[in-house]
Structure 1
Amino acid sequence: MTFKKSLTATLAGSVLLMGILSACGGNKADNNKSTADQGNTGKGSKGKVTLNVWGMGEEAKSLPKIAEQFEAENPDIKINVQPLPWDTAHDKLLTAVASKKGPDVVQMGTTWIPEFANAGALMDLSSDIANYPELADSNFYDGSLNTTKYDGKTVGVPWYIDTRVLYYRTDLLKEVGYDQAPKTWDELKDAADKLKARGTGKYGISLDVKEQTLMFMFARQNGSKLIDGNKPLFNEPKFVEAVDYLNSFFKDGDAPLDLGIDIVAGFKGDGILPMFISGPWMIKLINDQAPELKGKWATAVLPAKENNISALGGSNLSVFQYTDHKEEAMKFLAYMSKPETQLKWLELANALPSTKKAWEDPALTSDPNLKVIGEQMKSSEPMPLLKPWEQVAQEALNSFEKIYRGQSKTQDEMNSFNKKATDILSK
């Protein structure tokens, strides 16, 4: 998940959800119940430990197939997968924290880690990692690994990743003088200008103004630290310059506003939108929905200014603080981190692996577009791991809208945004 999902839920309504959670989780067994009555908590009549695993979104639908393979290797452990829609998962997790009843293992969107770690919901695994070679820090990309840390503790392990890369029509860029993807900010702007000049109704690039990471990603590429400790730097020159650069695509007509067409529809045909920045899920969408573009499009790492840092998202696996089955939960995390398991997960769920070793497999290295994702992962970082970051990101979207719609000057709006962010981060 990551930055694709919002954390707008509160504890309101948690009492109403208690019954649901008790039915699907509840790893603290009621001492007044018999073993048979305990169902999926504790050990069953055959001596098996049942692990309740909460998975989110579409990925969770494929998780039982991986669980079956784990059970075959660990016959004393049964996996009970509870699929949760992303839009209700946050509420259910808050309720689990309040009730101290819930899963043993839980999928965590990378942007959720600070909130739930701060609430004490996620077990500190720091002292356990050494016992499981599959979980060694060196197995994972640094950016992905950073999303599992909070307040000096390790509260999860990377499961799958996503990042942002440049998608472009190779044929159309070649027509305007680019035999390869733009490599710098200057080249990206020049290519967008030339592609827009093809005629009325044509644009150079699509920039998703609802993407929370966009402004911060470009600011990092311009050398901004974003935040110094707890102090936001959103009105300082490097950040302001990046916002001006982004806004120049809208100001000059290179990028559309309110066009109202799907990105794949704009990408194919005459290429109304011949370039865009997005995540790895778009590879399959283009292949499925625009097969006629085969050989006419590609992906590339993001163009650079001082660097080409991209935004990193995905999901981690964490152990719920109140589990009775820590050892079994750690075995499951270790199994899910094996390169061969992650490659099977790629096959089942089209989710990209977090382990470096898996990226050496021909399934990934033979696909040039997936290979680009692996290259970009070497220069990808998560958004700041701060509990109130979601609120800051929402304010960023509001501020940028005022700029690209011409309602505010960049420096003035960034001064206002920085003050709001300061208030949020100081609470």
Structure 2
Amino acid sequence: MKKINIKILTMMMLCAVLVLGACGGSSDKESGGKSGDKSSKTLKVWQMGDSGWKEIIKPYEEETGVKVDIQGIPWDQGHDKLLTAVASGKGPDIILMGTTWMQEFVKAGTFVDLTDYIDQYPNLAPDDFYDGALETSVFDGKTYGIPWHVDTRVLFYRKDLLGDVGYPDGPKTWDDLEDASKKLVASGDGKYAIDLSIDDENYVYSFAWQQGWEYEPELGADNFTKPEFKKMMELYKTFYDNKYSQIGEGKDMVQAFEDGTKPMFFSGPWDIKTVKEGAPDLDGKWDVHLMPDGGTDRSMIGGSQITIFKNSDNVDQALDFINWLSDPETQLEWYKVKNELPSRKEAWEDPILADDPMISTFGEQLESVEAPPIMNGSDKIAQEIRKMMEKVARGGEDIDKALNEFHQKAAKIIKD
């Protein structure tokens, strides 16, 4: 009996091992190996600007068992770090990119072509993103990035002071803006009308679009010889020559807005919070308005793109994470953390955005935007634009002379 029992016991133990082994094999097969992979996977992420995603990713890590290792990369180091990654073939799985670098690094073969993947993920459908944001993610009909946040500019203005000169709802056109500026400056010594930046090429492009300028890639530097581009420069010169805008840097922006010496300025959504916190006594006395219309009211669109590095071994998991990030709820959480506007149109239906009149103005402006021109040597051309504007607006140089010099430099940069 003892021998029989031992044999039976041995057979039972063997069967148990086989059953457990079969169950384990069945589980792996059914999950495609993903559950085993997920528990041990780490996604490496480079986030340009900072590592702020760390504040919102905990639910994803808990749900999937995937560790998301985020490294914040300062903008002034990002370009060189990316070049090194391309040269060495060693980089992260995911890179959060600035839109202005996309073309250069797409040409360098830095990213995975996502075209055949996006239909498999419900949050990546192109139709739910702003058209302007897609302009910087699609090249030659192929998708290399998913828009993460979007950014645009509108006019901030003092309702009370603009009301005193006949524009309580803000100037709607460039003619209105010029007329309001003239009246504001005439209303008191030491007053200017608007802070008009010449240090940011995005404003230069925006104001040129508003005069009807169109950038045509096949024309290259000849785009800058178009009359609409010159008209933009003439507007700048008018505002500086007539002291509607201050030549020097002057007071802090919020201080000047609060004391009324500069009752208008152009900026992005982050400055809503800046004004509210920096000048609480202005509550109810200021608002934001769409860009002035000079034929169009187009503004620039910026932001960021989520990309997958070409040598990643975790493409499927990276796509899963990007799909999670692109969920409207996740984007809204990021808005609460960083005040950066979501790229998904569906997110804008949430009351936190839809019921906020100022934020809704930014949403309306996003329907009339354009990506800054992408050309060879974009950064160098931007530097030359800033130098040219400095010469004309503050140095008094002849517009035709400055434009001709800039055209020659831009042509050489694009060719090289």
Fold equivalence (TM over 0.5): yes
In the alignment, structure 1 residue 392 sits paired with structure 2 residue 381: yes
Superposition map of 1:49-60 within 5 A: 49-58=41-50, 60=51
- Contact preservation (8 Å) 2:376, 2:413: no
Distance in 2 between the 1:126 and 1:381 partners? 22
Give the residue type in structure 1 aligned to 2:234: D
- Length-normalised TM-score, structure 2: 0.88
In the alignment, structure 1 residue 248 sits paired with structure 2 residue 241: no
- Contact preservation (8 Å) 1:230, 1:425: no
In the alignment, structure 1 segments of 5+ residues that lack a partner are 1-42
Superposition map of 1:319-338 within 5 A: 319-338=308-327
Distance in 2 between the 1:426 and 1:89 partners? 25
Distance in 1 between the 2:36 and 2:339 partners? 34
- Contact preservation (8 Å) 1:226, 1:239: no
Superposition map of 1:40-55 within 5 A: 47-55=39-47
Q: Once the 2 structures are TM-superposed, how far is the Cα of residue 210 of structure 1 from its aligned partner?
A: 0.6
- Contact preservation (8 Å) 1:118, 1:387: no
Give the residue type in structure 2 aligned to 1:258: G
- Contact preservation (8 Å) 1:141, 1:377: yes
Q: CA RMSD in A?
A: 1.7
Superposition map of 1:310-349 within 5 A: 310-349=299-338
In the alignment, structure 1 residue 186 sits paired with structure 2 residue 186: no
In the alignment, structure 2 segments of 5+ residues that lack a partner are 1-34
Kindly provide the CA deviation profile for residues 14-56 of structure 1, in whole angstroms up to 9, marking residues without a partner as x: xxxxxxxxxxxxxxxxxxxxxxxxxxxxx99984211001112
Q: Give 1:83's match in structure 2, choosing from 51, 67, 72.
A: 72
Secondary structure at the counterpart of residue 213 of structure 1: helix
Q: Once the 2 structures are TM-superposed, how far is the Cα of residue 266 of structure 1 from its aligned partner?
A: 0.6
- Contact preservation (8 Å) 1:219, 1:226: no
Distance in 1 between the 2:38 and 2:113 partners? 30
Superposition map of 1:8-19 within 5 A: none
Q: Once the 2 structures are TM-superposed, how far is the Cα of residue 230 of structure 1 from its aligned partner?
A: 4.4
| Identity in percent | 43
* Other-structure match for 1:133: 122
Distance in 1 between the 2:153 and 2:74 partners? 24
Alpha carbons of 1:406 and 1:57: their partners in 2 closer, same or farther (altered >3 Å)? closer
Distance in 1 between the 2:98 and 2:290 partners? 24
In the alignment, structure 1 residue 304 sits paired with structure 2 residue 296: no
* Other-structure match for 1:217: 206
Deviates more, 1:370-379 or 1:417-426: 417-426
Q: Give 2:275's match in structure 1, choosing from 269, 273, 286.
A: 286
Distance in 1 between the 2:197 and 2:144 partners? 32
Give the residue type in structure 1 aligned to 2:88: S
- Contact preservation (8 Å) 1:160, 1:314: yes
In the alignment, structure 1 residue 93 sits paired with structure 2 residue 93: no
- Contact preservation (8 Å) 2:217, 2:375: no
- Contact preservation (8 Å) 2:39, 2:64: no
In the alignment, structure 1 residue 362 sits paired with structure 2 residue 354: no
Distance in 2 between the 1:211 and 1:238 partners? 19
Distance in 2 between the 1:331 and 1:211 partners? 36
Higher helix share: 2
Secondary structure at the counterpart of residue 112 of structure 1: helix
* Other-structure match for 2:105: 116
- Length-normalised TM-score, structure 1: 0.86
Larger Rg: 2
